[in-house]
Amino acid sequence: MDEKQIIQDFPIFHQPDRNGKTLCYLDSAATTQKPLSVLEAMDTYYKTYNANIHRGVYHLSELATEAHETTREKIRAWIHARSTTEIIFTRNTTESINLVAYSWGRKNLNAGDHMILTEMEHHSNLVPWQILAEEKGVELDFIPITDAGELDLEVYRQLLEKHPKLVCATGMSNVMGTIPPSKEMISAAHAAGALFLLDGAQMVPHMQVDIRDLDADFFAFSAHKMLGPTGIGVLYGKESLLEAMPPFLGGGDMIKKVHLRSFSANDLPYKFEAGTPAIAEAIGFGAAIDYLAQIGMDAVFEHESEITRYAIQELMKIPGLKIIGPLTSSNRGSAVSFTLDYVHPHDVAQILDRENICVRAGHHCAMPVHERCNVDASTRASFYIYNSLTDVDRLIDGLKIVHQLFGQD
């Protein structure tokens, strides 16, 4: 994979330098940049066949409907789902998880039931369940994080003895980069009689995913973390589960019939897609999948692993710097969070910004992870296909400036 060639496809990297520096974007775990093919696909829709979908019988509407549903098929193939009926469009990963909590959770969970979560979760996979637990009296149990930044699977096995109804876990930590053994965890949950929801927001952009092989019952991810636009995400659910779940939102397109005092819900997947969808965003999503397919996800993961390995090696040379999470790049994602014991992460990020280096600073919507590590916040650098070892060198040079300003030798 030639990142120098790839970067030519991203208009944002060709803008004028800032402070005499080219853009060094290291915040792809928050959102990725967009290649020209994605932008052009959305622009073409708006310029040449802009129309609402599904209900129009005229030519423009048929073109828009075909493009929208073609993306649904691309997503099905991308994650190896059985049918497009299992692919629900949402606004993002957060909405996908909330859909499961509000629809499946409120129908199937009752007072005294147990759920298992992990200390590693993004707030999007914590707060919906906390709301549900308070409302319904559900008991929440948590798999702890070990000192090495992994999930404690021995405790997980013990928690499964409580016969939980549902297990929810991330496929890749957005703070630590940790990749839990999802397939093993899902198999264990099923053996204990539990369903499994897998948060794939940080997983799908970086590696091949075969949802049938993993056997997750629910799977959520977003377009904007994999070169696509914001405002569109996906909930995968096994068809039998989705069929039994009540609608999440009411309105147009999720109905088959409506009378003044009753309605009948539409077939899957439209049953969960009320109102006019994000049509242009779906088309851009499809273009993003096409772009990544040309590169190949094995090449993506290998490229990121090389950069992450080098980044960890060089970061550990900075005085007072501590990496949160695994210190090896094997079976690890490309998000690398760290602290400097003599400077706040916000100050780190501001100084790096002067060098036109974009990193994240804060709790990254994962406060419990930081509580577990006894820190209030961290700085996060996250890498993607358009990054190179040179970007790591720029990060290190920027941190040397931070050290010169704040460090105590």
- The C-alpha atoms of residue 9 and residue 32 are separated, in whole angstroms, by 13
Share of the chain above pLDDT 90, in %: 94
Residue 214: what pLDDT? 98
Q: What is the mean pLDDT of residues 284-307?
A: 97
24, 168, 358, 365: the active-site residue: 365
Is the pLDDT at 314 greater than 80, yes or no? yes
How much is the mean pLDDT over the chain?
A: 96
Give the model confidence (pLDDT) of 38-95 as tens digits: 999 999 999 999 999 998 899 999 999 999 999 999 999 999 999 999 999 999 999 9
Give the model confidence (pLDDT) of 193-241 as tens digits: 999 999 999 999 999 999 999 999 999 999 999 999 999 999 999 999 9
Residue 325: what pLDDT? 93
What is the CATH code for 3-27+297-406?
A: 3.90.1150.10
CATH fold of 49-293: Aspartate Aminotransferase; domain 2 (3.40.640)
- Pinpoint the residues of the chain covered by CATH 3.90.1150.10: 3-27+297-406
Cα 384 to chain centroid, rounded: 13
Q: Which stretches of 170-296 are DSSP H helices?
A: 182-191, 211-214, 239-244, 279-295
Give the model confidence (pLDDT) of 235-276 as tens digits: 999 999 999 999 999 998 899 999 999 999 999 999 999 999
**Closest by CA position to 96, among listed 219, 226, 238, 228:** 219
Omega of the bond prior to 181 within 30 degrees of 0, cis? no
- Pinpoint the residues of the chain covered by CATH 3.40.640.10: 49-293
The pTM is what? Answer: 0.97
Q: Are 230 and 281 in contact (CB under 8 A)?
A: yes
Is the pLDDT at 329 greater than 70, yes or no? no
Q: Is 168 a catalytic residue?
A: no
Share of the chain above pLDDT 70, in %: 99
Give the model confidence (pLDDT) of 150-180 as tens digits: 999 999 999 999 999 999 999 999 999 999 9
What kind and span of H or E run contains 154?
helix 153-160
Identify the band that residue 10 occupies on the pLDDT scale cut at 50, 70 and 90.
Answer: very high
- The C-alpha atoms of residue 202 and residue 42 are separated, in whole angstroms, by 24
Residue 244: what pLDDT? 98
What are the angstrom distances between the C-alpha of 207 and each of 40, 50, 285?
25, 33, 17
